[in-house]
Chain A
Amino acid sequence: MFHRGTGWLCLLGLLPLLQARAGDDADLEAGDQAVVKVLDQHLFSQPLFYSAPVAELSLGEVLGISAESGDWFEARTGAGISGWVHSTAITETGVDLAHTGGGSGSVSAEEITLSGRGFNADIEASYRDENPDLDFTPVDQMERMEVEPGELYQFLLDGNLLEGEVE
């Protein structure tokens, strides 16, 4: 199935752009292992954000990669569930979680994210203590506004932004 509109007619030309931040995030191939590097993400039945989710993924979860399709990887969870995950949601395993910088090496973004270092929840808590006038409650409320894949699919379909159906 394809989106309607000129955008998807030009999809091939746009792929490099849409991969822009994905390319170096997940330099993976079949047989590799990957780690989830975002807080909340689904494993999807198809390489589409609006296809049916088959599992919920969590930060740091290890996945086995079995195939690649564009920006998406087919992956299997530790519980044996297979599905598709977008390349911007995962990174290679093998990042050094104990690496703190210094010496000759540079600390990668993935190492910082997966080790929970750098600007993190502790720094935010300290910042909040020092700025009691700042209210993070509406920020937390904002983050609770999530769009479920099925809801998005119906929205895209109703808006004539999709053509065809996803199983």
Chain B
Amino acid sequence: MMIPHQASLLLCLAASAMFGLGNLDDIVDIIESDEVESAIEVAEAFREAGRELSDSEEYYLGRAVAANILTLYSPSDCAEFQEYLNLVGAAVALSSPMPATYGGWHFVLLDSDQINAMACPGGLVFICRGLLEQVSSEDELACILAHEVSHVALRHGIRSVENAKWMDAFTTLGTEAAELSGSDLDEITEGFGDIALDITSNLMTTGYSRTSEREADSLAVIIADAAGYDAGGLEIVLDRMCGIEDRSGQGFWQTHPSPESRRSDVEDALEERGITESSDHSGRDARFAGMIAVLDSGAGTATSGRGTGESGSGGSSASTGRDGSSTGTGRGSSDSSTDGRGAESSGR
């Protein structure tokens, strides 16, 4: 149902206040009207329960969601790439509307051929190796991480939970005394688990709404640009994904709108905000190539065999992305780390 624009802005601000998001200003025009209604509904559940959802609660929910995700996937054991991923992620997240989260931002590469990335409430972000295969530069990687960071900042995971589940959980939590025990603890634990599973299911199977994805893309463009990256990288990745014919797999194809429609939206967002290509990124391209080489060289030992057979892609992972349809940015050779940072990977 559409609502008049001005009314939607007021509702958005009201919802934002209820969520503790503050004055959203520029975000107001990112959040679309039907999403505002959904935000209002959840915010109403919080209001009726006489409480807000705190950053610490978001953190614990995010940890539970992450634990559920990690029953299906294994992290890559390439410590050097994980460190690099966290540096790119930090560069992006610290330019977002919520640079400081209760438990901090943390990023992990998963050894899975799936083309997918997932963000848990609170700031735990995963990217699958299958999606990384579609990336040809650090700027593109930064844009993908910015999209995931945007989902967290806009609280899409929290907003995707059924209203009734918040009410069930908060009925007990809202009158909670200092310590819980017995049936109260059991009841709250059940509510906590239901919400965590709901968010996990929305991340893994159902996906967010088309409008949520568009919001995340719009904010990702702003965040990547603010971090100094070329925000057009998002358009390049989507363009590359448009060339994939087999869309039968799990993950991205189930949980996201088509890359064609997203590319068009991103193009509009870039144009609307007058974002042009960033400064010289040859250094970033070189270190990205170096990190990919490090990752590929250790790919054969990356998996631990845990989970559902979503094993590592190994040395024969699909290369239709970077290698097959790269836009040719002249990444040059990929021999080792290029700037000496690789030596810093120990001690983590």
Complex Cα spacing A13 to B67, Å: 38
- Nearest CB on B from A131, distance (A): 7
Contact of B100 among A17, A41, A113, A123 (CB under 8 A): A41
Known interface pairs A18-B95, A37-B55; A124-B226 also in contact (CB < 8 Å): no
Q: Would A106 and B50 count as touching, CB distance under 8 A?
A: yes
- Asked if B82 is at the interface (CB within 8 A of a chain A CB), the reply is yes
Query: Quick one: CB contact mask for A82-111 with B, threshold 8 Å, 1 for yes?
Result: 000010110000000000111001111111
B314: chain A residues within 8 A (beta carbon): none
Q: Would B228 and A3 count as touching, CB distance under 8 A?
A: yes
Q: Would A40 and B55 count as touching, CB distance under 8 A?
A: no
- Stretch from B171-179, B261-269, B315-323 forming part of the interface with A: B171-179
Size band of the A side of the interface?
35 or more
Contact of B83 among A102, A107, A118, A145 (CB under 8 A): A145
- Stretch from B127-135, B248-256, B280-288 forming part of the interface with A: B280-288
B3: chain A residues within 8 A (beta carbon): none
- Nearest CB on B from A45, distance (A): 16
Q: Would B189 and A134 count as touching, CB distance under 8 A?
A: no
- Nearest CB on A from B243, distance (A): 28
Q: Would B175 and A102 count as touching, CB distance under 8 A?
A: yes
Q: Would B100 and A147 count as touching, CB distance under 8 A?
A: no
- Stretch from B16-24, B206-214, B234-242, B327-335 forming part of the interface with A: B16-24
Q: Which residues of chain B (51-76) have a CB below 8 Å from chain A? A: 51-57, 60-61, 63-64, 66-68, 70-71, 74-75
Query: Quick one: CB contact mask for B301-321 with A, threshold 8 Å, 1 for yes?
Result: 000000000000000000000
Size band of the B side of the interface?
35 or more
Closest to A141 in B: B75
Complex Cα spacing A19 to B25, Å: 9
- Nearest CB on A from B66, distance (A): 5
Q: Would A158 and B341 count as touching, CB distance under 8 A?
A: yes
- Asked if B204 is at the interface (CB within 8 A of a chain A CB), the reply is no
Query: Quick one: CB contact mask for B113-154 with A, threshold 8 Å, 1 for yes?
Result: 000000000001000000000000010000000000000010
Contact of A107 among B51, B101, B278 (CB under 8 A): B51
Query: Quick one: CB contact mask for A14-31 with B, threshold 8 Å, 1 for yes?
Result: 101111111111000000
Query: Quick one: CB contact mask for A117-145 with B, threshold 8 Å, 1 for yes?
Result: 11111111011001101111011011111
- Asked if B257 is at the interface (CB within 8 A of a chain A CB), the reply is no
Q: Would A160 and B22 count as touching, CB distance under 8 A?
A: no
B66: chain A residues within 8 A (beta carbon): 139, 142
B4: chain A residues within 8 A (beta carbon): none
B112: chain A residues within 8 A (beta carbon): none
- Nearest CB on A from B292, distance (A): 15
Q: Would A88 and B67 count as touching, CB distance under 8 A?
A: no
Q: Would A113 and B21 count as touching, CB distance under 8 A?
A: no
Q: Which residues of chain B (140-193) have a CB below 8 Å from chain A? A: 153, 173-180, 185-186, 188-189, 192-193
Q: What would 24 A/B residue contacts be, using CB atoms closer than 8 Å?
A: A6-B225, A7-B275, A14-B222, A17-B24, A17-B27, A20-B23, A22-B97, A25-B22, A38-B101, A38-B102, A38-B104, A88-B100, A100-B177, A106-B51, A107-B51, A113-B57, A118-B51, A118-B176, A120-B60, A123-B185, A127-B189, A131-B193, A147-B86, A155-B91
Contacts A20-B97, A109-B53, A145-B348 known; list 20 others, CB within 8 Å. A14-B226, A20-B98, A22-B97, A25-B20, A38-B104, A100-B177, A105-B50, A108-B52, A112-B57, A113-B55, A120-B57, A122-B179, A123-B180, A123-B188, A130-B189, A142-B108, A145-B106, A147-B87, A159-B228, A161-B229
* Residues of B in contact with A (beta carbons under 8 Å apart): 17, 20-27, 47, 49-57, 60-61, 63-64, 66-68, 70-71, 74-75, 82-83, 86-87, 90-91, 94-104, 106-108, 124, 138, 153, 173-180, 185-186, 188-189, 192-193, 196, 222, 224-231, 273-276, 278-281, 283-284, 287, 339, 341, 344, 348
